[in-house]
Amino acid sequence: MDYENKEPRQEIIDVPTFYYVEEKKKPKKKKSIILMVVILVSALIGGVISSYVMPVYVFGKLIPYPKNYFGPDVKQIINVEPQNTEFLISAVAKKAIPSVVGITTKSIERDFFFGTRTTKGLGTGVVVDERGYILTNAHVVNNGNVEEVNVLFDDGKKKAAKILWSDPALDLAVIKVDGVKVKPADLGDSDKLQVGEVAVAIGNPLGMEFEKTVTSGIISGLNRSVSINSHETIENLIQTDASINPGNSGGPLLNAKGEVIGINTAKIQSGEGLGFAIPINIAKPIVDQFIEKGEFRKVYMGIKGVDLAVFERYMGTDLSADKGVYVAEVSKNSPASRGGLHSADIIIGMDDKEITNMSQLVRTLYRYRPGDTVTVKIIRDGEEKSLKIKLEKIPKK
């Protein structure tokens, strides 16, 4: 066979062709919205659990609080016990009002140009003993310079009273009525007061047509000083935002138990929500002596003193202390002389109380009774010393 002229046989292989077409998928809007809703709901539930359920129902009850849960600077957790105060103010008022009285006065003033004229005054007081002892402000009874004092009681009765004691330095006075059945108020402890406590004031603001007005607030501050005039300051006052107006003077400032913690005494007319009261613990020794003995005898040191700043200014000198009382004279055979106090000593303290001026020394002495021994801190020749002085009652003239 002739193979040379034959062309080689070619096999045709059928190769299938594949086409890859890339299709653009349409976004699944419905599923995306559902997913977003699920995410938001999950976040909301998680927030509620972490911020409310866990702190309130889980942490501290089922499991302990995580470390530093309240921040790295918190050392302890103070639990505040809520109290039901819905009827607190009305309960305090109901308890105290029978012990609150109105006080009216009549004074005769003599003037060189205008002759004699009669002035009337109005204030408030609080009954402190069932025998008719009433505590009020000294300025309510015109510092004792009145012709007539009358007391108006809760039952509508009116009774004449007599002034037993009054001191403008403390702005306190004690008056007494006889032959009337009265209910004394409970006296609290003003040394235990804290800023933020409930405070209730009762008085007769702006006249008897508003008698027994009750106002409430809180203790806004402690140990405040208020200038009465250019040379007189009342110190150690309680500040409250319970509304106090003219006529409230002498009325009680009460705590949540209905106890008297202060005697309302002043209001800064240029400010709002600023009322002041004398702490009841200043008046307690005075009240107690009247209750026990029917009289009050102020304790006696036996010195004549002057504010250190006044002495330095007058003498043109500069002594070793910054403030205090310069002892100008010590009376013979007095508690001060027997305790070793000398003239030219500077009194800077009495027990735990700092003494900065003569007015403060006088007020501090009211804390004590005859027979009490006090530690008087002095500076003598630039050196600080402590002396023990046994106080006595002022000798009768």
Q: Catalytic residue positions? A: 139, 171, 249
* 3-state percent helix, strand, coil for the chain, nearest multiple of 5: 20, 35, 45
DSSP helix/strand/coil, 46: helix
Instruction: Tell me the two tokens of residue 251.
Output: 């009325």
Gap between the Cα atoms of 264 and 124, Å rounded = 9
Spell out where 268-393 has E strands: 275-279, 299-300, 303-307, 325-330, 346-350, 353-354, 373-380, 383-390, 392-393
Q: Residues 6 or more apart from 167 whose CB is under 8 A from it?
A: 138, 173
124-160 burial: b if 16+ Cβ within 10 Å, else e:
bbbbbbeebbbbbbbbbbbeeebeebebbbbeeeebe
Q: Which of 266, 235, 239 is nearest to 355 (CA)?
A: 235
Instruction: Tell me the two tokens of residue 180.
Output: 């009337």
